[in-house]
Amino acid sequence: MYIKRFLADPQPAGRWVGQGKAERLDPAWRPFTKPLPGSGREIARKLLSAMRSWLIRQ
């Protein structure tokens, strides 16, 4: 759900999607500038899967 829905269309957009470049500590900073394309969502899926596997092994 996170990868298929949220990363494809982060909502509420006002909270997650910024309108341009802002410094990390600027209140206008948001983690996204646009929804992630399919290739970006696939990378996120692989990273989350690897982190989950590491946590299970620990």
What's the rounded Cα separation, in Å, for the pair 44 and 38? 10
What's the rounded Cα separation, in Å, for the pair 50 and 3? 15
pTM score, two decimals? 0.70
Q: Read off the pLDDT of each residue in 9-34 and give the average, rounded to a whole number.
A: 91
**Residue count (the chain):** 58
pLDDT (0 to 100) of residue 43: 95
Q: Read off the pLDDT of each residue in 40-50 and give the average, rounded to a whole number.
A: 95
Q: Read off the pLDDT of each residue in 44-50 and give the average, rounded to a whole number.
A: 95
In this model, does residue 21 exceed pLDDT 90? no
Q: Read off the pLDDT of each residue in 30-55 and give the average, rounded to a whole number.
A: 94
Q: Read off the pLDDT of each residue in 5-18 and give the average, rounded to a whole number.
A: 93
